[in-house]
Amino acid sequence: MSSSLNKRLENWFWQWAKRRTSPQTSVVLRHRAIYVLPSKAGLGFFIAVILLWLLGTNYENNLVLAASFFLISLFVVTIVHGFRNLIGLELTALASEPVFAGEQLIMPVRIKAKGRTSAGRLILASDTERSVLTDVAEGDETQIELSLPTSQRGWHTPERILVKSYYPLGLVRAWSWVRFDVRLLVYPRPMSVALADQLSDSDEGKKKLALTHGDDFEGFKRYQPGAALTHIAWKLYARGAGLHTKQFASPEQDDLWLDFRALSGDRETRLSGLCYLALQWHKAGRVFGLRLPKQRIEPASGREHLAHVLRALALFEITPKSTTKAERGAR
């Protein structure tokens, strides 16, 4: 019951805090976005101080009263230092490498303490992932990597990033929620599929032939200077037909096509299958193209071509949005 109540209170507080901030690529923590409350240790400390004060009041013990007043003053000072530990920090979301759906997306975040005192024992975390602990020296900057879970292809935007600290004594919890204006690309999850004949393009229904050595015999060709002596048709030469060379040919593979209509299943299953084939053919050094409804990528090879194909699969039938500053900086 208590956990459910805490969850509702947290969601209500987040909705209230969300209206006070706007998504930005670079966020500077201001006083209106920083919240301070006693930690669990702070609550225990405060209760102990109250009991100490009651004890001193009941027995009229000035030494105990002085100790309780000192501890209360210490608690108030930690509130100020905990707040100052976060205010003025600048956090910037940097470009990240795309991942496949289901993998952990790594988002680099730069933390800068330029023009202010140092920030100690900072804790950054996404909603569900393990936190990262770091310190920032005075006037310096540092970079950390946050792990974000992914479940589906397309653009991924972290809803909120938690920045908190229990500095300096662990008695108070100062925190802020950061909303980054950044879109991170997630490819479809690769899924093994059977290779269909329809994926190879044969518009004319013919196989191209390429000259090779030691394949099917194709015929004779008049000798050209520089031809290998082992391919000379000596029998024809002995009959007085002149110098000829033997020609051999083997079928050359047609350009391969990743065709959305050639696979069965729903949309996401087909995209996952095409993603798997693209990775396999790229690994094998094949030349292939992509055919999607309303989109076509001509056959090519290489890492840039693979990235182009995977991006098209990731954004298939996803409504385009305005480009963020982080995306423009990554180009």
Question: Which tokens in the block code for residue 322?
Answer: 């305005």
The answer as to whether 262 is a domain residue is yes
Shared domain check, 240 and 171: no
Per-residue model confidence (pLDDT) at position 102: 92
Is residue 98 in a domain?
yes
Host domain of residue 201: 197-314
Q: Same domain for 19 and 98?
A: yes
d(CA 277, CA 271): 10
**Are the C-beta atoms of residues 184 and 105 closer than 8 Å to each other?**
yes
In a domain, 103, yes or no: yes
49 contacts 69 by C-beta, under 8 angstroms: no
d(CA 311, CA 103): 16
How far apart CA 154 and CA 329 sit, in angstroms, is 19
Q: Which residues pair with 172 in a beta bridge?
A: 38
Angle between helices 40-59 and 62-84 (to 10 degrees): 160
In this structure, the answer to whether residues 168 and 210 fall within a common structural domain is no
Residues 126, 24, single domain; the answer is yes
DSSP helix/strand/coil, 114 = coil
pLDDT of 323 reads 44
pLDDT for 243 = 74
How many C-beta atoms surround the C-beta of residue 56 within 10 A?
A: 18
Asked if the structure places residue 320 within a domain, the reply is no
Do 295 and 213 lie in one domain? The reply is: yes
Return the pLDDT at 289.
94
What beta strand segments (E) does 45-167 contain?
90-93, 99-100, 104-112, 119-125, 132-136, 141-149, 154-156, 161-165
pLDDT in the model for residue 143: 93
Q: Which residues of the chain have pLDDT under 70?
A: 1-3, 6, 127-129, 194-221, 223-231, 236-237, 244, 246-255, 320-331
> Residue 159 — φ and ψ, nearest 5°?
-65, -45
Q: Are 257 and 291 in contact (CB under 8 A)?
A: yes
Q: Quick check: is 126 in a domain?
A: yes
Looking at the structure of the chain, the number of domains it has is 2
Same domain, 41 and 148: yes
**Beta-bridge partner residues of 146:** 107
Query: Is residue 98 located within the same domain as residue 221?
Result: no
Residue 139 pLDDT: 79
Are 149 and 129 in contact by the 8 Å Cβ rule? The answer is yes
User: 3-state DSSP call for residue 276?
Assistant: helix
**Separation between Cα atoms, residue 68 and residue 13, nearest integer Å:** 33
Within 172-302, residue ranges assigned H as helices are 234-238, 267-283
Helix (H) or strand (E) holding 186: strand 184-187
The answer to whether 287 and 256 are in contact (CB under 8 A) is: yes
Cα separation, 258 vs 193, whole angstroms? 12
